């Protein structure tokens, strides 16, 4: 297959990487679509710096807590633990 036989990418197809740009300190930054992070090239060394979405992390934590609280409440309402509690009083 020759290069002419390869399908051409449509112009409307979104690109994965953005145009690189250079910061004043000489770091080259390359953005990524729906950014999981950026590639920063400094002094000839490339480093991937992940983007952390604090809102997503907080929502995940709150959701996990709500599910745990709901399951715990349902377990107690279905079969309360206090009838099984017994104690011995010995002297």
Instruction: Kindly state the tokens that stand for 68.
Output: 């745990």
Q: In the structure, what pLDDT confidence band is assigned to residue 35 with cuts at 50, 70 and 90?
A: low
Residue 59 lies in a domain: yes
Q: Does residue 28 lie in a domain region?
A: yes
The rounded distance, in Å, linking the Cα atoms of 4 and 19 is 26
- Per the prediction, the chain carries an average pLDDT of 78
**Looking at the chain, which runs of residues are DSSP E strands?**
21-22, 28-31, 37-42, 45-50
Residue 87 domain-assigned (yes or no): no
Rounded to an integer, the average pLDDT of 79-87 is 73
Instruction: Write down the pLDDT at residue 47.
Output: 86
Higher pLDDT, 57 or 63: 63
In a domain, 7, yes or no: no
The answer to the question of residue 5 being in a domain is no
- Whether 91 maps to a domain, the answer reads no
Domain that holds residue 30: 15-80
More confident residue, 70 or 89: 70
- 88 in any annotated domain: no
Number of domains in the chain: 1
* Domain-located, residue 19: yes
């Amino acid at each position: 297959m020759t290069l002419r036989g390869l399908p051409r990418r449509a112009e409307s197809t979104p690109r994965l990487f953005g145009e690189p740009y250079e910061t004043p300190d000489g770091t080259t930054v390359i953005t990524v679509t729906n950014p999981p992070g950026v590639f920063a090239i400094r002094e000839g060394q490339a480093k991937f710096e992940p983007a952390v979405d604090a809102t997503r992390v907080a929502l995940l934590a709150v959701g996990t807590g709500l599910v745990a609280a709901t399951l715990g409440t349902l377990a107690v309402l279905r079969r309360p633990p206090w009838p099984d509690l017994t104690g011995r009083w010995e002297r």
